[in-house]
């Protein structure tokens, strides 16, 4: 991706638009799609390439700083316990920081069962006070004897780059309809003066960068979110609403999920059930963002398993207009958004951007 990083200067430059996409050879890539209602093969939303573009934008920003800016963005990561998957995620996040010119600080507590809440709270308080730290990330899940809620609540909301602090949640779920409320520009997440969770933010960012960077107009679209988790379903529904979509949230107790999905212009699947959403449930020409990452048996593969989404991809791509693959769709966007949140936080802390 080196050449990409060097070429792209900013999201909106003609140069960057020309190089925004880097589809892998197995993905069909149509540059000028037209919406049709007959059967077709969907355009694949190449999350890996879009995430690389965003990371390149951040790298570029950090490689040409104003001379009075001496600091670099810093992300502090807390890793409690010895889960292999958590270790992998943390390493990926640290590498991503280094790749784009950011600092990262890791605090590991490998004996997860022995660490106390107080120890973790003290470390977070230290980071809250530390000028070199602009983002704080607590890798979840925490061991059972630790209250996640208590730990996350301790993070300074301004450094809460995961967007999980109640102060940030409350702001995300406010429609600012009250007297004197400041109207926010939801078309530019980097202008939002609080932190938005990374995966949901990544979903919307994909919608804004498909179609050769022109994006699709979310306003007035029927958007259906499958799943109501705190981490994805709820915040992505809220982001779609802020962009003036009409939103429906369906879940395990919904009785008529197929007929509801058949009305959807945009489907976000975030339920964690392999291949649950069938092609016959989808409206021809719709857009599918598949957040699910499910491991299913694949005896003919080397690893014995493969990762699939919540949507039956092979069939769905014959019906919809745009679809994210799994892996390589939403997944890579999460880290890109984490980096961007940290850079935003640093820009605010160093006075480069309004609080």
- State the nearest-atom distance from the C-beta of 240 to a copy of itself, in Å: 10
Q: Should residue 244 be labelled a site residue for a copy of itself when binding is judged by CB under 8 A?
A: yes
Which CB, 103 or 208, lies closer to a copy of itself?
Answer: 208
Is 93 a residue of the active site?
A: yes
160: phi then psi, degrees, rounded to nearest 5: -80, 70
d(CA 347, CA 232): 26
Segment lying near a copy of itself (by CB under 8 A), choices 100-108, 138-146, 299-307, 312-320? 138-146
- State the nearest-atom distance from the C-beta of 174 to a copy of itself, in Å: 6
- The correct pick among 206, 234, 308, 336 for binding a copy of itself (CB under 8 A) is 234
d(CA 36, CA 58): 36
168: phi then psi, degrees, rounded to nearest 5: -75, -40
Q: Which of 61, 123, 139, 310 is catalytic?
A: 139
Rounded alpha-carbon distances, angstroms, from residue 16 to 9, 334, 350: 6, 21, 27
- State the nearest-atom distance from the C-beta of 39 to a copy of itself, in Å: 24
Q: Should residue 229 be labelled a site residue for a copy of itself when binding is judged by CB under 8 A?
A: yes
Q: Should residue 173 be labelled a site residue for a copy of itself when binding is judged by CB under 8 A?
A: yes
Q: Should residue 233 be labelled a site residue for a copy of itself when binding is judged by CB under 8 A?
A: yes
Segment lying near a copy of itself (by CB under 8 A), choices 71-79, 167-175, 203-211, 339-347? 167-175
- State the nearest-atom distance from the C-beta of 171 to a copy of itself, in Å: 7
For 93, half-sphere exposure in the C-beta direction (CA atoms, 13 angstrom radius) is: 31
CA 352 to chain centre: 24
At 78 the three-state DSSP class reads strand
Q: In the chain, which residue ranges form alpha helices assigned H by DSSP?
A: 2-7, 14-19, 47-63, 84-99, 117-129, 148-154, 166-172, 198-209, 233-242, 257-261, 313-316, 331-349
Q: Which of 46, 48, 61, 93 is catalytic?
A: 93
- Provide the pairing of β-strand 305-308 with 294-297: antiparallel
Is 306 a residue of the active site?
A: no
- State the nearest-atom distance from the C-beta of 179 to a copy of itself, in Å: 5
d(CA 261, CA 283): 7
- The correct pick among 9, 119, 248, 278 for binding a copy of itself (CB under 8 A) is 248
Q: Should residue 155 be labelled a site residue for a copy of itself when binding is judged by CB under 8 A?
A: no
Is 269 within 8 Å of 309 (Cβ atoms)?
Answer: yes
- Could you tell me how many residues make up the chain? 355
Is 61 a residue of the active site?
A: no
- State the nearest-atom distance from the C-beta of 78 to a copy of itself, in Å: 16
In the sheet where 103-109 sits, what is the strand order? 103-109, 74-80, 135-138
Q: Should residue 185 be labelled a site residue for a copy of itself when binding is judged by CB under 8 A?
A: no
- The correct pick among 250, 267, 277, 326 for binding a copy of itself (CB under 8 A) is 250
Q: Should residue 167 be labelled a site residue for a copy of itself when binding is judged by CB under 8 A?
A: yes
Catalytic (active-site) positions: 93, 139, 162
The contact set with a copy of itself (CB under 8 A) reads 140-142, 144, 147-149, 166-167, 169-171, 173-181, 219-220, 222, 228-231, 233-234, 241, 244, 246-251, 253-256, 260
């Amino acid at each position: 991706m080196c050449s990409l990083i060097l070429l792209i200067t900013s999201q909106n430059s003609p140069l960057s638009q020309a190089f925004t996409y880097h589809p892998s050879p197995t993905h069909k890539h149509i540059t000028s799609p037209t919406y049709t209602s007959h059967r077709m093969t969907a355009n694949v939303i190449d999350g890996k390439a879009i995430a690389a573009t965003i990371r390149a934008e951040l790298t570029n920003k950090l490689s040409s700083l104003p001379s009075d800016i001496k600091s670099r963005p810093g992300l502090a990561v807390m890793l409690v316990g010895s889960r292999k998957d958590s270790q992998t995620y943390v390493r990926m996040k640290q590498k991503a920081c280094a790749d784009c010119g950011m600092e990262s600080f890791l605090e590991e507590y490998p004996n997860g069962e022995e660490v106390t809440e107080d120890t973790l709270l003290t470390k977070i308080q230290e980071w809250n006070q530390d000028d070199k730290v602009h983002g704080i990330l607590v890798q979840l899940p925490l061991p059972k004897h630790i209250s996640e809620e208590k730990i996350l609540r301790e993070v300074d909301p301004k450094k809460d780059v995961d967007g999980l602090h109640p102060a940030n949640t409350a702001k995300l779920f406010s429609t600012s309809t009250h007297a004197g409320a400041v109207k926010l520009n939801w078309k530019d997440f980097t202008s939002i003066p609080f932190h938005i969770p990374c995966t949901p933010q990544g979903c919307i960012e994909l919608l804004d960068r498909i179609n050769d960077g022109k994006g699709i107009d979310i306003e007035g679209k029927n958007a259906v979110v499958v799943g109501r988790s705190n981490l994805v379903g709820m915040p992505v529904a809220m982001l779609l609403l802020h962009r003036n979509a009409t939103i429906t949230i369906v879940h395990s107790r919904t009785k008529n999920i197929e007929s509801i999905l058949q009305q959807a212009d945009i489907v976000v699947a975030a339920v964690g059930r392999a291949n649950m959403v069938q092609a016959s449930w989808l409206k021809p020409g719709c857009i599918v963002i598949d957040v699910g990452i499910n491991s299913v048996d694949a005896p003919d593969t080397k690893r014995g398993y493969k990762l699939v989404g919540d949507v039956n991809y092979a069939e769905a791509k014959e019906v919809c207009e745009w679809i994210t693959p799994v892996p390589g769709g939403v997944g890579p966007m999460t880290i890109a958004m984490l980096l961007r949140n940290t850079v935003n936080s640093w820009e605010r802390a160093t006075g480069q951007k309004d609080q």
